[in-house]
Amino acid sequence: MRDLTDYALDTCRELGASYADIRIVTIKDEDISIKLGNISVMELRKEIGFGIRCLADGGLGFAGSYDPTKDEIHRVAELAVQIAKASGSTRQKPVELVDIKTETGSYSTPIKKDPFKVPTEQKVAELVEVDKGLREHNPEIIKFTKADYRGHMEDKIFSSTEGAYITQNIVFCGGGFSCMAISPGSPPQIRSYPGSFRGDFSTSGYEFFESKKLIENVEHIAEEAIALTKAKQCPTEKTTLLLDGHQLMLQIHESCGHPTELDRVLGTEAAFAGTSFMTVDLLNSLKYGSEHVTMTSDSTIPGGLGTFGFDDEGVKAKRIDLVKDGLFVGYQSSRETAALVGLAESSGAMRADSPQKLPLVRMVNINLEPSGWIRNDIIEDTKCGILMSTNKSWSIDDKRLNFQFGTEIAWEIVDGEVGQMFKNPTYTGITPEFWGSMDASSKDDWRIWGTPNCGKGQPPQVMYVGHGCGTARFHNVRVGIMEGK
Amino acid sequence: MENNKELLHSKIELILKEAEALGASQTQTTITLTNRALTRLANSIIDQNVVERHALVRVVVYFGQKSGSVEFEVFEDHEIKQAVEQAASLARISPENKDFKSLPTPKQYSSSFDKKSMICETTHNTTPEKRAEFAKLAIDTAHSVDSRVKAVAGYVQNTTKEKIVANSLGIDAYEIQTTSDAEFTVLAKDDKEETAGWATDARRDVNQLKVEEIARIAAEKAASGFGMKYLDPGEYEVILEPAATAGLTFFTGLIGFGARRYQEYMSFLRDRIGEQLFSENLSLWDNPLEQRLVGASLFDDEGVPHQRVDLIDNGVVKNLVYDTLTATIDGVESTGNHAKWWGPAEPIPRHIIVGEGTSSVDEMVSETKKGVLVTHFHYMNPVNPTEGVLTALTRDGAWYVENGEVKYPLHTIRFTDGVLRFFKEIDMIGRYPDFLALPPIGMVPAMKLPSFRFSGSSKE
């Protein structure tokens, strides 16, 4: 491939580019879904292609194609330079990139069992057994069941006119199951494990999927779904709120992950994803949360969906603080956005979901660092509150201030003990007030959750990102948002 | 305009022949060639400028009720043969889908549909310089409206898509389409506030894009957004501009009228077909054959002919939309609404048209005692899909209306409300907007509703 990447870069240079890089990428995805005893998805997807990004006449251009041959690379390189020059025509200042250490390394996700070498029959058999277990648990009430698996692999080559040449092999896999209980007099109730929306994922081998022990969790999840049909509606009040892993990770994602992306702070997502309340003038002065809140961006942590060796600009994986002891101290950035605000280096957050997409500032693993509590101690320390689990619904405004979430299930906490179950739980808040009210987060159940469905950009891209967290407690939160029935 | 129809035919013949040789009982294949160019603006400059070229081959192979599918970005014959072999390998080890009876059989496509009107060579040949020219026009127009305009963001895009769908039962459907669209968000700022405005347009012919008009509207909205106040949560009348109505009708169609979600107990219309659940003023249908739609189309992702499907007729729930599998389960015919997204395919209405009325937005304002005028909504999602409860926030302009007059702009407000409640009564419906949209938005006018529940703001 080196001859092709060199040819692309030489062509860009000859056409007047001051900088160019090329990514040649192969992506493989395996999807299996069993639904109500039937095969619903049995699919293999494969994408091969390349993308050339270059600077010329002060503008940035990008073009890609599915066909990494010499002729097509030449056509696309010409197009990328033409686009860069057209882009430069509206700029008053040329695009600048902060310096980086030129890398020539390689990286592979550490795995024990290659998900693409595990026989498909084995994966299907586990999902069929899970789905059957759910259906047979209580056929009168459990009316809908499904079990999912997904494996993903990327082989990437990155090369630039600065001398970088990097190869990477990224692997992730995971899955989960859901069931729906329907009982007279109650709207349908859904429960999922280990998370909703197809489960949980990790940059790991097939051993991660096995470690989720789906079959062992069928009984209690089906029982919870049935119990929800008889549960009381979540009350409408202001109370103490405990969020556990699968909901807390999305709270982190929406209210810290997105607003600390420097491209949207600088307005480049103003027309689509939105901007951010965490503006540059507030860096190192905004009290984002309580002193118990420390958030990091960390692409080095094992198993996270945002874990890799290098980002799509060739920046080596790193860990940085976004919020330190409650103070807003850092951004997720790229070489261009870092230069725009005078940062010395990129945070290494440039990622593209496919070879033909322009890399954008994307989350890697955005983590809430544990504040030293044990989960059960947080519960025992809570006199009155609600514990919510497993995301069901999400929405947040374009500056990432007003959010509203719903979860599959909740429990009342009274005098330090978990009590009755509530259905249709929801809560809402304003980001800095909400994180300002956090006084505890646990370490014993702290782990990295993976969500492969983060949307951003035009044309749209869907990125896989990770979030580390345990269980956290917040005070004076509005729950039970009025329902529009 | 040149096309690849013959080449695509040769590829699908290869696929069907290979699958037959491997013993497949039925096979379906889709090949899509896409050229997409998008110039993105931010901070009143061209910020991103990209071009993509895709060749996507999808093959689904059946052995009885067992199936395997592959979706590969390949185009060479030997790679396509490998793709078919892999689909067959998956199908051989697949469990059965006992609901599957057969792929669709050929049916007559609309003879009155003007296929030539779907293509514009100028759009296909749009250059980066042309898109940059549009970008500059939008930037200059917006900044000329008000000195407080700070930044223009958005995009100008052109796409050419060729698609062929075929199966072993004789379906052979081909279409080529060009589209162009532009969308601008204008930010304005003074020493106290930042405001925003937004507008969009889509056309088959890039030269007909109303770039200057939408840039002006977005800028005027931003300029009239200063002096924002907070609104207390509660029930208000609401005037929904076309894009705001379209957000609500899209989700109504998505979570209510698709047969898959209905069969999986996820639809809020479960067991309620035939009931008068909505205002008598509301008629809503799906019609991809409506040629005024920029994204009009002859057939769905299974090659089944598109048709008009009445979803709500004068407030009465009439029909669901089906693809072949869900139609088989319910013992009816596919309505031609198969949509292959990521993961399992499902039937959804992607070309929703709402019966228009005669009122203007100004007339709606004049008839409002205490209400909110909304440009459009941001980040809409179902809170509880089985009960049709949605939530979202206002974006790019919302104004408080009292005693027939627009009083002042509002900070962002959130609604949480149910489709079956807020569409139960509709006071007024407008005419179709001057600007067009791409699927999944069809033709949706402005509306005035007597009651809409706002549940929060950026203050609480």
Both structure tokens of B447: 């509306």
Tokens at A426, concatenated: 């929801």
Interface contact B53-A356, CB threshold 8 A = yes
Distance between CA atoms of residues A418 and A120, nearest Å: 41
Q: Do B344 and A459 touch (CB under 8 A)?
A: no
Distance (Å, rounded) from C-alpha B174 to C-alpha B239? 41
C-alpha–C-alpha distance, residues A341 and A266, integer Å:
9
Helix H or strand E encompassing A76: helix A70-88
Return the SS3 of B219.
helix
Query: Rounded distance, CA B414 to CA B458, Å?
Result: 8
For chain A, what is the total number of helices (H) and then of strands (E)? 10, 24
CA distances from A419 to A160, A379, A410, A412, B36 (A): 59, 11, 10, 5, 55
Interface probe with A: pick from B30, B53, B200, B260, most Cβ of A within 10 Å: B53
Among the partner residues B67, B128, B139, nearest to A42 by beta-carbon distance: B67
Q: Which of A129, A143, A481 to mutate to test the interface with B (most CBs of B within 10 A)?
A: A481
Cβ–Cβ < 8 Å for A391, A250: yes
Cβ-defined contact of B52 to A120 (cutoff 8 Å): no
Lowest mean pLDDT among A36-45, A146-155, B95-104, B327-336: A36-45
Supply the Cα-derived Rg of chain A in whole angstroms: 24
Q: Which residues of B touch A38 (CB under 8 A)?
A: 95-100
Chain B residues with beta carbon closer than 8 angstroms to that of A34: 95
Which residues of chain A have a CB within 8 Å of the CB of B67?
Answer: 39, 42
Helix (H) or strand (E) holding A385: strand A384-396
What are the pLDDT digits (tens) for A227-259? Answer: 999 999 999 999 999 999 999 999 999 999 999
**Nearest partner of B346 among B272, B440, B243, judged by Cα:** B440
CB contact under 8 A, A38 and B95: yes
Token duo for residue B237: 């009348």
Q: What is the pLDDT of residues A286-327, one digit of tens each?
A: 999 999 999 999 999 999 999 999 999 999 999 999 999 999
> How far are the Cα atoms of A175, A245, A348, A391, B411 from residue A449, in angstroms, in the given order?
12, 8, 20, 12, 34
Decide: B416 and A404 in contact? Cβ < 8 Å: yes
User: Of A42, A83, A267, which is closest to B51 when you measure between CB atoms?
Assistant: A83
Are the Cβ atoms of B44 and A120 closer than 8 angstroms? no
Long-range CB pairs of A117-122, under 8 A, 24+ apart, other chains included = A118/A206, A120/A30, A120/A32, A120/A42, A120/B90, A120/B93, A121/B93
Contact B455 A404 (CB under 8 A): yes
Give CA–CA dist B57/B135, Å, rounded. 34
Residue B232 CB coordination number (10 Å): 10
Q: Using CA coordinates, name the residue in chain B closest to A396.
A: B379
Identify the burial level of A26 via C-beta atoms within 10 angstroms of its C-beta, where 0-12 means exposed, 13-18 middle and 19 or more buried: middle
pLDDT tens digits, residue range A58-90? 999 999 999 999 999 999 999 999 999 988 877
**CA B44 – CA B186 distance, rounded (Å):** 9
Per-10-residue mean pLDDT, chain B, length 460: 93 97 98 95 91 93 96 89 94 95 97 94 95 96 98 97 98 97 98 96 97 98 97 96 98 97 95 97 98 96 98 98 98 96 84 97 98 97 95 97 98 97 98 95 97 86
Weakest mean pLDDT among A123-132, A464-473, B312-321, B334-343: B334-343
CB of B148 closer than 8 Å to CB of B190:
yes
Domains and CATH numbers, chain A: 2-230 (3.30.2290.10), 233-479 (no CATH)
Average pLDDT over residues A370-381: 96
Bridge partners, B66 (sequence order): B63, B96
| CA angle, residues B94, B95, B98, in degrees to nearest 5 | 130
First to last CA, chain B: 56
Cα gap B411→B377, rounded to integer Å = 13
* Structure confidence at residue A394 (pLDDT): 96
Best mutation target among B48, B66, B97, B201 (most A Cβ atoms within 10 Å) is B48
Query: Given the structure tokens 């139960």, which residue do they identify?
Result: B424
Q: Do B98 and A38 touch (CB under 8 A)?
A: yes
- pLDDT band for position A91 (50/70/90)? confident
